[in-house]
Each structure stands twice: as structure tokens, then as C-alpha cells.
């Protein structure tokens, strides 16, 4: 095929050669995106977190079972290894299955022991049909990502807890609560930090002194004991949903001073800029100047700070729930799942109860990588300063 013929086919298909981005005309967000892609850990962490949040949002679809489903015959069942292919006389065939464990109770100690049964397997299918349920509480569905072929034979990829509940399903449902607590808590921090920090940095004087002394007082109180005191003050008769929203507010109320300090320092440097003076002469109110002209000027930096604050919120909820002062059953979060790991005796028999802790560590690391990448991408002088 000649070159002219290939060019003709290219024009016919409408393929255009992608032009490289001109950095001299690129917007601030385009420059941030370019620099963020160069930070490999941050870029891969963004995709990893997007996947985790996607699974958490659609937990009903991805979780094999409901988090409250229990099988008393399979208490503390060990994790089952997954195989996608099965060996036959004709070779290998597609047959997703898990290894099967036989349970036997010791009549003397009443402890349940599990032994591998090599002659039996637990088969499952992807995107299989199951009982009708509601995705996210309002979308009727009858298919799930993983479904056992025998509805009476459960499987436990991550093992089970003391009540025979599937740890994988509870981990996925717990991710929805723990990750949303971080986002909602950071939203409260974001609003209060910009509002209070903006007022402090824009007006200065007595208002600034009062706000800064208040921030110093709040920072002098240890964060975890303050969280514990506020959480312990919640009435025990309140519903789990009410406590969930109040815990997010508590986490946000305690964490806003750091954001306010960042906003104040930037506002103090921006309020002397010519465009701020022009906006004031144009008749804009102080709050319009803050909202329309000053905040957008360093919004990218605020996003980086907020991203680094999310891990602290998740750790706060996990710590409070682990100590019994945060969310409580039947609500499922990673902190609630870790409550059972407090029992050393149970932990010695079922080490997989620490899987939620591993999930917390991995997600926190990924969020820190994203925050570091955003912070470096939003700072045009970071590389020069490092040199």
C-alpha cells in the first residue's frame, strides 16, 4: 500500500495527529495535570483510589453477601484461595472456584477446626443472577459481581468473623462508610477553613488577633482526646445514622484550624494585589472579593491541602470506632470491624480479622501520595527549591 493511499484512509477515518500542548498558552490546571502525571506514585494512586471509591459506592453489587448475613456453622472460617481454571482430562477449562474447608468441632474444647477437603470445591460465577436487591438503596438489581453457584454454600475469600459473616462483604460495605466520613469531614473543614481563615487574613487587625488566638487555643488541645470527649458526649439512644453525621461534623470541627492558617497566610499576601484593589474600587463587597477573586487564585493549593487532610479524618473515625466511641453496630465501618481485633485470643485464632487494618494502611498511603503529588504540582517553584 502506497503512502498516498494510507494518507487517504487516514483522512477518511477522520484521524488527526494529536498536537502537543503549547506550555506558553496552557492554563494553570493543564500545567498541574502535566506535572501530576510526572509524579508516578501520585498518578497511579489516583486511579487506585478511584477504583476503591467506585467499589465502595456500588458495594451492594461488588459484595458477595449482605454484611449482616451469618452462617453459624462457619465461625472464624479461614480465607479460601481463588482459582479461575480447573484441570480436566482434556486440559484446563474455565471454572472459577474456591477451595473447600471441612469443619469439625472439638467436643472437649468446643473449638471449631477447619481442614482442607481436596475432593470438594466451591464454584462461583461472575455477574451471576441472585435474589433481588436495591443498589444504593433505590436501584432494583438482580445481578452481582460474584455469586455462588450453590446458594446454600457460602464462601469466604477473606475468611469469616465470630458470627460467620463474610469479611470481604463487610470490608466493602465498611469502605463506603469510612471513605465517605473522610470526604464529608474534609468538606466541613474546607468550608470553615476558607470562611474563618479568609476573614482573618482579609480584615486583619483585632479580628485577625482574636481568630489566631482561638486557633492557638484549639491547637493546644490534643486532637484524639478532643475527638473522644466530643464523641462520648453523644447520647447513646441516638440512631447509628445520626451518630454517623455527627461524627463527620466533629472531625471537621476539630480539623479546620490548619486549613484556616493556610488560607490566612495566602490572603494576607493577596490582599495587597492590584486586582483585589480594583475589585474593591469596582464596588464589590469583601465577601464577593474573597469568593470571586481571592479563593480561585489559590484553589489548587487548597485542594492539595484538603487531600492531605482526608487521611487524618479516616484515621480519626477508625480510632474512635475502634475504641467504641464512634460508629457502632449494626453500621459497618473499618473501625467497627477492627473492634473484634481487640480480642487477642480471637486474633490468635483468626489473624484475618486484621485485614481492615491493612485496608486502612493502603488507602492512607495512596491518599498521602496523591496529596504530595498535588502539592508539588501546585507549587511552580518546588523543583527550584529542591535544588
Whether 113 and 106 have beta carbons less than 8 Å apart is answered as yes
- The residue extents of the domains of the chain are 74-160, 171-386
Can you give the three-state secondary structure of 162-224, one letter per residue?
CCCCEHHHHHHHHHHHHHHHHHHHHHHHHHHHHHHHHHHHHHCHHHHHHHHHHHHHHHCCCHH
How far is Cα 124 from Cα 158, in angstroms, rounded to an integer? 15
Per the model's pLDDT, the better-predicted residue between 82 and 33 turns out to be 82
Taking only the tens place, the pLDDT of each residue in 162-218 is 888 999 999 999 999 888 888 888 888 888 888 898 888 888 889 999 999 998 888
CA–CA gap between residue 196 and residue 211 (Å, rounded): 8
Kindly report the pTM of this predicted structure: 0.81
What band does 12 get if pLDDT is binned at 50, 70 and 90?
A: very low
CA distance 311 to 48: 15
pLDDT at 48: 95
Taking only the tens place, the pLDDT of each residue in 268-321 is 888 888 888 888 888 888 888 888 888 877 777 787 778 878 888 888 888 888
Confidence label for 9 from pLDDT (cuts 50, 70 and 90): very low
Question: DSSP string of 112-164?
Answer: EEEEEEEEEEEEEEEEEEEEEEEETTTEEEEEEEEEESSTTS---TT-B-TT-
The total number of residues shown for the chain amounts to 387
Residue 359's pLDDT band, with cuts at 50, 70 and 90, is: very high
Q: Across residues 318-336, what is the average pLDDT?
A: 81
User: What's the rounded Cα separation, in Å, for the pair 265 and 325?
Assistant: 35
> Which sign, positive or negative, has the C-alpha torsion 356, 125, 71, 352?
negative
Of 18-22, 67-71, 148-152, 370-374, the range with the lowest mean pLDDT is 18-22
User: Is the preceding omega at residue 330 within 30 degrees of 0, hence cis?
Assistant: yes
- 160 beta partners: 166
Residue 143 contacts residue 114 (beta carbons within 8 Å): no
Beta-carbon count within 10 A of 97 CB:
21
CATH of domain 171-386: 1.10.3720.10
Amino acid at each position: 500500500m502506497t503512502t498516498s493511499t494510507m494518507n487517504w484512509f487516514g483522512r477518511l477515518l477522520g484521524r488527526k495527529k494529536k498536537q502537543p500542548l503549547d506550555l506558553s498558552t496552557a492554563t494553570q490546571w493543564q500545567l498541574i495535570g502535566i506535572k501530576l502525571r510526572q509524579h508516578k506514585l501520585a498518578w497511579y494512586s489516583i486511579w487506585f483510589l478511584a477504583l476503591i471509591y467506585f467499589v465502595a459506592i456500588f458495594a451492594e453489587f461488588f459484595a458477595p453477601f449482605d454484611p449482616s448475613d451469618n452462617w453459624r456453622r462457619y465461625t472464624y472460617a479461614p480465607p479460601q484461595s481463588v482459582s479461575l481454571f480447573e484441570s480436566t482430562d482434556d486440559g484446563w477449562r474455565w471454572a472459577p472456584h474456591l477451595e473447600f474447608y471441612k469443619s469439625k468441632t472439638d467436643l472437649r474444647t468446643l473449638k471449631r477446626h477447619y481442614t482442607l477437603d481436596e475432593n470438594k470445591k466451591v464454584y462461583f460465577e461472575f455477574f451471576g443472577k441472585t435474589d433481588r436487591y436495591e443498589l444504593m438503596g433505590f436501584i432494583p438489581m438482580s445481578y452481582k459481581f460474584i455469586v455462588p453457584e450453590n446458594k446454600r454454600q457460602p464462601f469466604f475469600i477473606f475468611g469469616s468473623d465470630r458470627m460467620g459473616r463474610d469479611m470481604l462483604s463487610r470490608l466493602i460495605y465498611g469502605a463506603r462508610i469510612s471513605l465517605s466520613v473522610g470526604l464529608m469531614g474534609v468538606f466541613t473543614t474546607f468550608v470553615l477553613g476558607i470562611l474563618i481563615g479568609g476573614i482573618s487574613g482579609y480584615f486583619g487587625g483585632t479580628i485577625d488577633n482574636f481568630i489566631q488566638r482561638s486557633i492557638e487555643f484549639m491547637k493546644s488541645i490534643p486532637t484524639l482526646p478532643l475527638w473522644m470527649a466530643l464523641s462520648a458526649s453523644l447520647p447513646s439512644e441516638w440512631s447509628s445514622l445520626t451518630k454517623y453525621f455527627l461524627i463527620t461534623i466533629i472531625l471537621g470541627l476539630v480539623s479546620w484550624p490548619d486549613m484556616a492558617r493556610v488560607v490566612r497566610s495566602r490572603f494576607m499576601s493577596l490582599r495587597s494585589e492590584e486586582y483585589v484593589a480594583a475589585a474593591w474600587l469596582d464596588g464589590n463587597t469583601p465577601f464577593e472579593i474573597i469568593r470571586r477573586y481571592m479563593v480561585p487564585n489559590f484553589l489548587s493549593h487548597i485542594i492539595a491541602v484538603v487531600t492531605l487532610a482526608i487521611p487524618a479524618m479516616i484515621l480519626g473515625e477508625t480510632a474512635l470506632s475502634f475504641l467504641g466511641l464512634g460508629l457502632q453496630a449494626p453500621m459497618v465501618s473499618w473501625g467497627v470491624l477492627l473492634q473484634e481485633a481487640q480480642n487477642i485470643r480471637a486474633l490468635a485464632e483468626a489473624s484475618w480479622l486484621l485485614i481492615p487494618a491493612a485496608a486502612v494502611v493502603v488507602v492512607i498511603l495512596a491518599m498521602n501520595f496523591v496529596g504530595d503529588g498535588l502539592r508539588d504540582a501546585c507549587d511552580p517553584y518546588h523543583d527550584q527549591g529542591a535544588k
